[in-house]
Amino acid sequence: FEGNLVRKHEWENTTVKASNRSWDKVFVVLRGSHLAFYKDPKTAKSTPDQRFKGEAPLQLHGATASVATDYKKKKHVFRLKLENGGDFLLQAQNDAEMNTWISHINAH
Ligand code: I3P
């Protein structure tokens, strides 16, 4: 499963805030239990090792996705909490797309 999302990294882990908390447009690829971020679909397809900012894929074991009801500044935003306390906000284009992402991530 894959698609465009807008991403904000909020927490590195339970105690450390992410140093860069700006919103980035990313192309997201869910494969098995990993979530990888790319600049665009073309890069994801042609050079899958060239991830956004050289980031390693996120391990979804122990991770949960849920609607970010506490985040009011943008619509269609869900929160991805990783096992290590890492925390990302991800914005879809509409609620249907958001719910599809939540289901797919939680079903990994
Ligand atoms: C961040 C950017 C984000 C903002 C974040 C800022 O600044 O403005 O949009 O999050 O606020 O730090 P920069 O682009 O200079 O990194 P919100 O959109 O959620 O307000 P934060 O520091 O409160 O996370």
Q: 46: CA distance to ligand 1 center in Å?
A: 32
User: What's the whole-model pTM score?
Assistant: 0.97
Cβ of residue 21 lying under 6 Å from some atom of ligand 1: yes
Please state, rounded to an integer, the average pLDDT across all residues of the chain: 98
Cβ of residue 45 lying under 6 Å from some atom of ligand 1: no
The ipTM, to two decimals, is 0.95
Q: 91: CA distance to ligand 1 center in Å?
A: 14
pLDDT digits (tens, 9 = 90+) for 57-108: 999 999 999 999 999 999 999 999 999 999 999 999 999 999 999 999 999 8
Cβ of residue 62 lying under 6 Å from some atom of ligand 1: no
Instruction: Decide if 41 contacts 27 (C-beta within 8 A).
Output: yes
Coil/strand/helix, residue 82 = coil
- The closest-lying atom of ligand 1 relative to the alpha carbon of residue 23 is 9
Alpha-carbon distance of 9 to 85, in angstroms, equals 12
